[in-house]
Structure 1
């Protein structure tokens, strides 16, 4: 153990305010021989976060939200250094690591760098334990089942490409045609995966993933994700304090949920920007309330659309022998979600106060060109949200 590091940590990590940080940073800045050991201690804090259920993308998100870009660069260096020693990684970790920005952190002096490190370590040390969505790095517990990937990679690639083109085009007719084809492929993907799993010797089991729900307007975004997840036979549990939702479901449905949520959020944000520009041109300045109401209505209306579409697609694509399989998968997902989150709460959502924002958001949801082909049922978000001042939407 390095004595200077212990003294710096005692001053900075276990106290509030900037005085302790200044004291700790001064000690570290004055002793260059502590640098290597200081880096190893940072890797220990990262390992502690893994043990508490956090994953690379979770750490990047919380540091980006609560600290500065430089802290994110320091975190990236710690994560990259730490995972070099792992023989194997849990499912879904490699894409998270691939997205970590390896840009080096550059400070004007040793004191500034030491301060940033201590601020980062303080945050990592104080992270709460959260429900894990998979094994820790290097662990191979027997009860953790690795997800199956029956689908052709080309099919998922085509779905992604179609959604990307639908988001990028400025022509509504083209977007509708592209997204209609994506709907068809997504429906086949979900139904085929359930059929293949039902005939497998080692059938799939539900698993979970986390999807970031970032400010601003995170409540509306969480409602939208809940609608998409439920339509895909998944269940979403929002953790507002940590800026993510945990989505529980079967692997193919989780993948489709993330794809569709991301696409609908991009489409909704673009539509909101266009509608807001029109409002400003007309002399209105209620930007924040307009956006909030727009996204609330957008999420609410899409919840209805997804419910209707999933019922139609299931009736058309699933034969009588497959319906009990789909029902059993729904039960398995609910049981797994209840095990992971035995104490969840439901909150009545408020905050939509701009009627024109609500009207524009509803129209944008009706114009969104992706309807999720999942299973029967879905969230009736509309029952929780009333347009401001006009009664039931």
Structure 2
């Protein structure tokens, strides 16, 4: 069977199309949920730290299960894991909707605690689904199409990440919290239905290690002994941990830029607009040389955008800076994803993805907590400036010590 070619090659494979559409609907649901939860929690508490606690409530369970989840993704049918996790996420969406209905409003008398509890459960599900999705995707396309598939996967993800926050903000402003959570649940159901339609794939032969501990240790050793992979995921770790301002966007929208929930949706969507434009460009113009230097420069550019965003009091300038940050971040995501897929053995992808999830995926939520805590201690604007500066310092440090990454020419 011939391998499809051209910029749309991966999209010609039916299972891959179903896979990325699944991620599209699920991401759209999660993004809508994120906007609504953040605004609802801030309305209840009026405390910036409470926004950071949303991230912590998800990060703790997600990190706790990640290594075991990675091991599981290498020995259990990956589609079954994905479907089970999506069912759990659907129940979480329905629980948030239930709290807005008359029988469930009683629970909100405890403040934001019931919402944090649901986010905790969703964190467990997302901890298991992440390595399964990472390991399942390359089973759907030939190895020659990994880079193209990753770029299209990122493109659809960014499209959902654009639409989700904007739709979430508009739905919350115009139709209220109940309708918004209803849309979240319907989109999650759509994603689950599509996932069921993807063909199951056989697992690759198991690695030679015996026992759970030895298998997990092998995954950790692979990452920490591979300077290029370790350097790439460390870059994103520090950029996301210190450089992001997403958790504080409700405060910027309400108190600094005065644009309300509609403006919050646009601010949340702006980085993804930039990322989508960049992903579309890379699809037609793949990165072919100076990959390491491009990666370092883009992460540094992300940090600069965060500093300038913190200083801006103009809504349009803030949107532009967030869009630019998304463009820089997209390059990092595509390069790192392609490196992980091409350099990791098939029977170790779940475990390596789990380590990556701890570095990157959960650092999003921990970064939210760091942002909320820093905002309380330093005030909002200085905390974002501090985070951007820490990102620049991290880039400089990794550029000095990860020479293999700095000198990297090609992604594959």
The question of a shared fold, defined as TM-score above 0.5 by the shorter chain, is answered with no
Q: TM-score, normalised by structure 1?
A: 0.26
Q: Which has the larger radius of gyration?
A: 1
Larger RCO, structures 1/2 (Cα 8 Å, 6+ apart): 2
Q: TM-score, normalised by structure 2?
A: 0.25
Q: Which has the higher strand share?
A: 1
Q: Which has the higher helix share?
A: 2
